[in-house]
Amino acid sequence: MRLIRTTTLTDRQKEAVRALTDECRKAEPITLSAPSEDGLNYYLVYEKEPDDSELIAFSFLFFVPQEDTEPESVYTCEYTAFVHPLHRRKGHFTAMLNEALETADAFERDHRCQVDFCFLTDEHSPAASAVLEAIGAEYWYSEYKMVRQLRETDRDYPAKVQIALADQEAGVYTASLDGKIIGTCVLLPSGSETYLFAFQIRDEFRSQGYGKDFLKGMLALIAKADGDSNGVKTFAVSVQVSGLNYIARNLYKKTGFRETEALSYYIY
């Protein structure tokens, strides 16, 4: 077995990841996909040398700052793994998990913060449920992936809040009103889709329309960045929202997002 850790996938590795996830979907009715953009932590397992054999296991993790905590004090480390159906029960998942746990520990030390390690799984995967039960991971909550296609009219939305890029490397954007930051979110581009994470509005500014304005302003920003003289390309924006967060789910639905995946989180 050969395990490789990287933060940048080559074109060949991206194609191998797509092929592996397709094989996993053939075995189980899952819809969970794998990202391929630079900056995440990837773990790839080959039976022999990468040039001589196919990819048999793949996993990735990324860190998301938790809401309602002091800035950069608590992060959630979200981890997902795919193992080829013909190569399971051979220790590949354990090898990748040990590497991921070391990455999370290093992040916690380097950033002097708390990291909550959790698994992100598809609710339609009996194999994943069995593994999580075996290692003692505890169910945390369920979340829905919601997707919205960009429209040509999105770029023309006149947001009332002022949107600014606060951290280019992390993809953090802020929404301000009269010079005061009232909200934040994170953008993570991935191929033809952009993920929108950690979308939040400060408590005292909620239920006043600012959340919807900020969200539509972000859609306009993405559309302008991706658009050209011929109009907006085929492009989707996705979010993940807790099944218990009825207000956020309703906001996304009113803005045109539709549920496409049911995901579950397990604390480890």
Burial of residue 84, with CB atoms counted within 10 A of its CB: 0-12 exposed, 13-18 middle, 19 or more buried: buried
Tens of pLDDT, residue by residue over 209-219, are 999 999 999 99
Phi, psi of 66 (to 5 degrees): -80, 145
Please state whether the predicted TM-score (pTM) of the whole model is above 0.85.
no
At residue 137, the 3 state secondary structure works out as coil
Can you give the pLDDT at residue 262? 84
**Beta strands at 162-167 and 258-267: parallel, antiparallel or unpaired:** unpaired
Domains 2-136 and 146-261 share a fold: yes
pLDDT top residue among 70 and 181: 181
Provide the 8-state DSSP code for 153: G
Integer Cα distance of 259 and 252 in angstroms: 10
Sequence spans of domains, the chain: 2-136, 146-261
| CATH fold label, 146-261 | Aminopeptidase (3.40.630)
Residue 84 pLDDT greater than 90, yes or no:
yes
How far, rounded to the nearest angstrom, does the alpha carbon of residue 19 sit from its chain's CA centroid?
20
Could you report the per-residue pLDDT of 1-51, keeping only the tens digit for each? 899 999 999 999 999 999 999 999 999 988 888 888 888 999 999 988 766
What is the C-alpha to C-alpha distance for residues 18 and 192, in angstroms, rounded to an integer? 14
**Arithmetic mean of pLDDT, 47-70:** 80
Segment 147-164 shows an average pLDDT of 93
What's the CATH number of domain 2-136, 3.40.630.30, 3.40.50.2300, 3.30.930.10, 3.40.50.10320?
3.40.630.30
